[in-house]
Copies of this chain bind each other. A is one copy, B any other.
Amino acid sequence: MTTAAAFPAPVYRDTVLGPLFENMKRHHWRHLMRVNDAHAVMLAEQGLLTADEAAAILNALEAIETDVASRLDEVGVGSAEEDLFCVIEDDLRRRLGIAVAGRLHTGRSRNDIDHTLFNLALRDKVLALSEALVHLIDGVIAVATRHRDTLVVAYTHGQPAQPTTWGHYLAALIEVLLRDVDRLSQALRMVDQSAMGAAAITTTGFPIDRPRMAELLGFTKVQENTYGCIAAADGTTGVYAALKVMFLNIGRFVQDLNQWAGFEVGQLHVPDTFVQRSSIMPQKRNPVPIEHLRVMCSLGVSCCDGVMLAVHNTPFTDVNDTEHEAQETGYRAFDTAGRVVALLNGFLEVATINTAVVRRHIDQSYITITEVADSLVRAEGISFGQAHSICSWLARHMGEQGETLATVPYAVFAAAFAAAVDRPPGLAEAEFRRIGTPEHFIAVRTHCGGPAPAPMDRSLAGYRDQVEIDRARLADHHRRIEAAAVKLADRVAHWQRTARK
């Protein structure tokens, strides 16, 4: 830089170009090399590069990639180049001269390249997170299967409400997570598209081949309107909208774990590998990974919102607000998501239900009593009003006397029954005790989506099927992407060899 007045001003280099350069190195530069390869191959196929030019360019690109990879730490914002894109382009010019090197940029622009890079990065990240989620779901299905019959207290409004099973509870989580995978998959459709060929905005007058670029980069399709290709950020915001919903979902489940692991509730036992102790309070067991999961979900949400805020009230034209710095904020959300899913998976593998505590709390809160009433209706042929009147009286009595449905004298029940129905109950004591147990409570709940063994088995089988479907879908993506990579490498090698002898 010979004059003070040349671009960039030092403050701009330090506050913007430098950070963006590092971002490019971290996230995009290998993809950029593939875009360069694919574009060169396509231009050669279309006759827009001669065989000699194609060979020269592709060989030089390979050499540059090797070189940059070997000294990536040293590459940075220098005096002349704005960013890594320019570093590569300048190197190409030095190696081949402008006349040949310049032909690589035929029918393309920084605009379509950048948005293609963002789509490639987002595709990788959505697929990786989807796989981690499917792996997590698989793990949760295994726990739910093992604990299909393990009782837990189900809460509403923070209060014990009914007994259910750890399996049934986890099935709710499984369904939510399967829907998260579904939402991510829908969002992926809208970024798994090639912007190449849009050039700056409006395509080009050169006979390029947009579908071929999509194919060589493993995209499912060409993104059609070319202004949209370089300006519509809704593919990106759609991904982060879906990801935000996932963070909110996991955060809520984590709040349950937090309640359950509390000293007094104690329904969930967290093993020592996940408990931080207090040096000052030797009795204290802090299951802080739960809190870390919670705050990671919160910060994940805020990164998703950050991407969306970045585009808020910006013009719908190509603007930097949708680009590198905002995209990197989004990548941070994916990094956090990866940590969350891994930690939750590890945690759920080893956390256990404290069955003695569960049993005690079920007894103390007599949360099976609604089923006692319902069973009386069915067994005794009495009306709801009568059954509820009996059970309300019983509940009050147990509360006052500290009794449970296992200990309250049968005579008390019989008297309450007689008072309400004017005859003694048909139910013998053994049957009365049975209809008050959580096992009975669960056993009669055989409707679709309920906690009894039969519907649970059907549900779990369905989840396993869905996991297989999702796995197959993800594998298809990988196969397609891998096949494209192989084809691209093959075409690169072809043209590298094809210079006129």
For A278, the chain B residues whose CB sits under 8 A away are 110, 161, 200
Q: Contacts A110-B279, A224-B459, A228-B172 known; A306 to B298 CB distance under 8 Å?
A: yes
Given contacts A157-B320, A302-B329, A315-B158, contact A99 B399 (CB under 8 A): no
Decide yes or no whether A80 CB sits under 8 A from chain B: no
A342 at the interface (CB under 8 A from B): yes
On whether the beta carbons of A158 and B261 are closer than 8 Å, the reply is: yes
Q: What is the CB-to-nearest-CB distance from A348 to chain B, in angstroms, rounded to a whole number?
A: 11
Query: Quick one: CB contact mask for A421-457 with B, threshold 8 Å, 1 for yes?
Result: 0000000000000000000011011111111000000
Complex Cα–Cα for A106 and B387 (A): 12
Query: Which A198-241 residues sit within 8 Å CB-CB of chain B?
Result: 198-206, 208, 210-211, 222-235, 237-238, 241
Chain A residues touching B, range: 35 or more
> Within the assembled complex, what's the spacing in Å between the Cα atoms of A450 and B241?
29
Report Cα–Cα, A106/B223, bound state, in Å. Answer: 53
A291→B449 CA distance, assembly (Å): 27
A340 to B238, CA, bound (A): 20
A69 within 8 A of B: no
Interface residues of A in 15-73 (CB under 8 A from B): 15-16, 19
Q: Return the chain B residue nearest A265 by Cβ.
A: B264
Distance between Cα atoms of A275 and B371 in the complex (Å): 23
Q: Report the minimum CB–CB distance from A236 to chain B (whole Å).
A: 10
Partner of A276, one of B7, B202, B288, B444: B7
Report chain B residues within 8 Å CB of A476.
Answer: none
Query: What residues of B have a CB within 8 angstroms of the CB of A255 in the complex?
Result: 313-316
Asked if A102 and B385 make an inter-chain contact with CB atoms under 8 angstroms apart, the answer reads yes
Interface positions of A from 271 to 330, Cβ below 8 Å from B: 271-292, 294-296, 298-299, 301-303, 305-306, 308-321, 323, 325-326, 329
With A161-B201, A172-B231, A255-B315: A274-B208 Cβ-Cβ less than 8 Å: no
Q: A251-B312, A294-B313 are in contact. Are A208 and B283 (CB under 8 A)?
A: no
Q: Are B202 and A445 in contact (CB under 8 A)?
A: yes
User: A92 interface residue, CB < 8 Å from B?
Assistant: no
Select one of B15, B203, B282, B311 contacting A252, CB under 8 A.
B311
B234 touches A343 (CB 8 A): no
Q: Identify 7 residue pairs between A and B in the complex whose beta-carbon atoms are under 8 Å apart, listed by A's number.
A: A10-B346, A11-B347, A16-B289, A157-B287, A205-B378, A228-B449, A313-B313
